[in-house]
Structure 1
Amino acid sequence: MSIENIRKFIEEKAEQFGAKVDNEFNKPYVERNNTGQEALKDNGAYFGFIHPEEEASGPFHDFSLTIFPNDQDKPWLVCLGIGSSGFKNDYALATYPGLRRLFSNLTNEKGFCKSDFSDIETSLPKAITGATDLQHIKNTIKTYTKVLPTCQIVDDPESEKGKQIIGAFVAGYAKLREWATNKDHRKAISEALEPFLKKEANDEIEEVKSLLKERKYIVLQGPPGTGKTRSAKSVADEIGAKIFFTQFHAETSFSDFIFGIRPDTANEELRYKEYLGSFAEALKYAVENSKEDVILIIDEINRANLSNVLGPIFYLFEHKMEVSNVEIEISPNFKVNKLPNNFFVIATMNTADRSLAVVDFALRRRFAWYSMTPKIINGLSKRLENVYVNVVTEEEFFFKEDFAVIEGIFNWYASSTELDLQPGEGYFIAKNELEMLNRIRYEIFPLIKEYLQEGLLRNAKEEFNNYFSTRINLSLFE
């Protein structure tokens, strides 16, 4: 295998991604090349790019793109490395969750990705240091074992697959170094990364239907705008079930959901009458109509004090419960010792609402949890008032450019917990450009501003501010 061919390939890719090596005053990188015969003979050969402020030789700082080659037709190792001198300019970058997310997508079972890219104290796992594929460079790997946050074994660097992996690592390095200065550069980077970042399009409705059939009681959880309630209703409609619907809030009580008494305001004298809550109504209908599926939809299940609302019926939510000798009273003259087979529950939970009641482990064990994340709505492409969008219906459009910007900021800067705050695709559906601008101004802008005021997504504040300033001429800091 020709090291020079791969070096040339990498340099060409870097230029496609925006790295102009002849830029005298703003060099994109410094190249390191230690692939002479002595280095190859000693299995200590390497080449790649380091931070443009570093020297051409000697110890260096910060992230590098490093490749350990050989001339024995044996596998190579392509890595995102850190100079043996540690961090100088890149420590903040190393803490961005999006950097790890990006490179974790570029590694497979023959690679490795650290959980913390700022960690230069932990060694590589034995799966890499002791890999039979890499025995020929074992000593080299041990030398750099603490400063290789992610690496991938490449069996044949000159094959199409090998070049695809190496090209993706170069694209990842181009992204972290921000080489791209125009749309052609950004397009080239996206195309190099796309085979590794492409997500399988799941049929959420079918998955939820299958899960519901297996577990009976499920919670659809996710950020606002991801279509949780709509999906719950769609599943019920496709099953052909009888739907009962309720929405929890802070004041929802046992008497609202199960059974209680209320004043009869139709009478002149003070009288009380029994009241069946939504759960009791749905359950009674299911018992009396055993051949018909019944689905109770509980919207925003974590807005209420669940222990108080569920009371003794909590015991019944075991999806494989057999008939027991314990009867739970739902209302006077109505007791059950198990929930009927034709009775199902779909609840929804907004993961972005941090003021809500905590769902305890006992409830989590009784329900299956299905996560819904923001996603692109695929459809026909159409230009609408100079904005590229996807057609949702004949009258509504999905503004994919705005969605992509917000999603990109969250993916790069948000922690795993903060990803639950990303506005879903529902925020980006509008009838025209004016409606979308109003959606950004009066819904998305205040939401992001609230997040920042609560100390969330701090590293992304300038990115968000730039988006809003450009799109709606509003600053987050005025």
Structure 2
Amino acid sequence: AYEDFVEGIRPVTEKGAVTYEVRPGVLKRLCDRARRAPDKRFALFIDEINRGNIAKVFGELITLLEVDKRIRIDASGNRAASCKGLEVTLPYSGERFGVPANVDVIGTMNTADRSIALLDSALRRRFRFEELTPKPELLESIDDGEGNAIDLRQLLQAMNARLSRLLHRDQTLGHSYFYHVKSFDELRRVFAREILPFLQEAFYDDWRQIRYVLADQAVEE
């Protein structure tokens, strides 16, 4: 919520009495730190940024995130004289607030989850997007316990090729499923506890398609 992200009113109990104070949210606290250290960079990471109501969470800060609206801070921690950045008056504290140029806001999105909304155009144009795709080259081969090698790179590539054909490339498997697999028993556990449940959900328990992804030869081509 905006009150957690920027600022809000919070109850404070002292000596048995309850009062209400304006408390800064996580972004405002970070920006205050950034103002005091203009020679350093600060970052706020927001996991699955599109799960919340972005317009309500960011409020008036949507505009302040733009690069040309950022506040440049001088060595004394004050706004630089030549700065043309934008500041707004916060609704609870009445303070003037702007986002310093040395603050980065980084969000992650799971584009495979169709149950949540993607970012609207107003917020999308204020971010630079970078797609993170599976990296099978980070994987190695393991032994199947009988002296045969299982190439996890080829395994992931083959499964993802089938998933892309049947679903969409957003629905492919990440390399993290196999990244820590060092034995055949660990591989079996990953399939049983993580990959199969994912495939069951993705294909609505259509075992014909699931077997195709797993290269089960019992399924006709």
Give yes or no for TM over 0.5.
yes
- Give the number of the structure whose alpha-carbon radius of gyration is greater: 1
- Name the residue aligned to 1:177: none
Distance in 2 between the 1:383 and 1:426 partners? 19
CA distance in 2, matches of 1:469, 1:364: 39
Q: Quote the RMSD (CA, aligned, Å).
A: 3.0
Distance 1:379 1:358, change over 3 A: closer
Going from structure 1 to structure 2, the CA distance change for 1:384 and 1:264 (only over 3 Å counts) comes to farther
The ranges of structure 1 where at least 4 consecutive aligned residues each deviate by more than 4 angstroms after the TM superposition are 322-326, 379-382, 466-471
- Report the counterpart of residue 317 of structure 1 in structure 2: 65
Within a 5 Å distance, the mapping from 1:21-420 to structure 2 comes to 253-265=1-13, 267-321=15-69, 323-324=83-84, 327-330=87-90, 332=93, 334-336=95-97, 338-378=98-138, 381-383=141-143, 385=145, 386-389=148-151, 399-414=152-167, 418-420=168-170
Q: Distance in 1 between matches of 2:116 and 2:153?
A: 31
Residues in 2 aligned to 1:373 and 1:379: alpha-carbon distance in whole angstroms: 14
Q: How far, CA to CA, are the matches of 1:470 and 1:267 in structure 2?
A: 69
Scaled by the length of structure 2, the TM-score of the pair is 0.78
2:69, 2:85 within 8 Å by CA — same for their partners in 1?
no
Letter in 2 for 1:312: E
2:210 aligned partner: 464
Deviation at 1:257, TM superposition (A): 0.9
Partner of 1:441: 192
Which consecutive residues of structure 2, in runs of 5 or more, have no partner in the other structure?
71-82
Measured in 1, the distance between the counterparts of 2:166 and 2:212 equals 15
Give 1:469 shift. 8.5
Preserved contact between residue 286 and residue 340 of structure 1 (Cα < 8 Å): yes
**Which whole-Å CA distance do the structure 2 matches of 1:267 and 1:384 have between them?**
66
SS in 1 for 2:208: helix
Q: Equivalent residue of 2:43, what SS?
A: strand
User: Structure 2 CA distance, aligned partners of 1:267 and 1:409?
Assistant: 65
Deviations 1:42-95 (A, max 9, x none): xxxxxxxxxxxxxxxxxxxxxxxxxxxxxxxxxxxxxxxxxxxxxxxxxxxxxx
Structure 1 segments unaligned to the other structure (5+ residues): 1-252, 390-398
Question: Which amino acid is 1:448 matched to?
Answer: L
**Partner SS state of residue 453, structure 1:** coil
* 1:262–1:273 CA contact under 8 A, matched in 2: yes
SS at match of 2:96: strand
Q: Cα distance 1:277–1:412, how it changes in 2: closer, same or farther (>3 A)?
A: same
Query: Hey, what does 1:235 align to over in structure 2?
Result: none
Partner of 1:68: none
Q: Percent identity?
A: 29
Equivalent pairs counted in the alignment come to 203
Aligned to 2:172: 422
* Contact map agreement 1:296 1:344 (CA 8 A) in 2: yes
Provide the secondary structure at the position in 2 that maps to 1:346: strand
**Greater RCO, 1 or 2 (C-alpha within 8 Å, sep 6+):** 2
Distance 1:440 1:267, change over 3 A: farther
TM-score by length of 1: 0.38
Report the CA distance shift for 1:438/1:266 in structure 2 as closer, same or farther (over 3 A): farther
One-letter code aligned to 1:355: S
